Amino acid sequence: MSALPATYLGIITPLIETAREILERGESLSPFAFVGNLTTGETFPVLLSTATEEEKDAAAAMIRRLAELHEADFIFMIMEAWSLPPSKVGQFKEIIEEYGSIGASPYRVDVASFALETRHGLWVTQIPIEPKGASKTQRTFGRPEFQHFTEANGRFVDLLPVKDGEREPPRTLH
């Protein structure tokens, strides 16, 4: 399965549109996770604190607890982040060594990052954030094109609880 399932698309499309509206008003995106259960139809928003490594670990633990408590089927994350242009991705280690982070490098690209973790894997997209027209404060991003991943590592993956009949949580990439 590589296409984003329509069930989830119907849930996340309004969230993506809201993120676009926030940027177009001249505001920044706050990092959020939306923890949802398809059976109950409930979705719980979680504002994430990601300023330090400890705060990121605590945010991941909070999402995991909320997902277990509500027997979540999906987690949708929205973040404003930095990435590298395709021509610089191969120089990632050198850029980190020289500048300390992608954000401190002159090559950084501001992106809207979206990740949907489900029991079928993870769909991710990072869309460059660009100025909206001639405005210096309003920004926007293009149409998201999600890519499906089946394996992953990191603090913000495998956050869904194991359900009856499953041997282990899905492996996702973020």
Q: What is the mean pLDDT of the chain?
A: 89
Q: Is the pLDDT of residue 123 over 80?
A: yes
Q: Is residue 73 within 8 Å of 160, Cβ to Cβ?
A: yes
Residue 2's CB is within 10 A of a number of other CB atoms, namely 11
pLDDT of residue 172: 43
pLDDT in tens, 59-109: 999 999 999 999 999 999 999 999 999 899 999 999 999 999 998 999 999
Q: What is the three-class DSSP state of 121?
A: strand
pLDDT in tens, 140-152: 999 999 999 877 6
Backbone dihedral region for residue 71 (phi beyond 0: left; psi -120 to 50: alpha; all else: beta) = left
Backbone dihedral region for residue 165 (phi beyond 0: left; psi -120 to 50: alpha; all else: beta) = left
Residue 20's CB is within 10 A of a number of other CB atoms, namely 20
Domain chopping of the chain, boundaries: 6-80+111-124+143-149
User: Which residue's structure tokens are 């994350």?
Assistant: 77
pLDDT tier for residue 170 given thresholds of 50, 70 and 90: very low
Q: Is the dihedral of CA 46, 52, 58, 64 positive or negative?
A: positive
pLDDT tier for residue 171 given thresholds of 50, 70 and 90: very low
Q: Is the pLDDT of residue 35 over 50?
A: yes
Comparing 119 with 59, which gets the higher pLDDT?
59
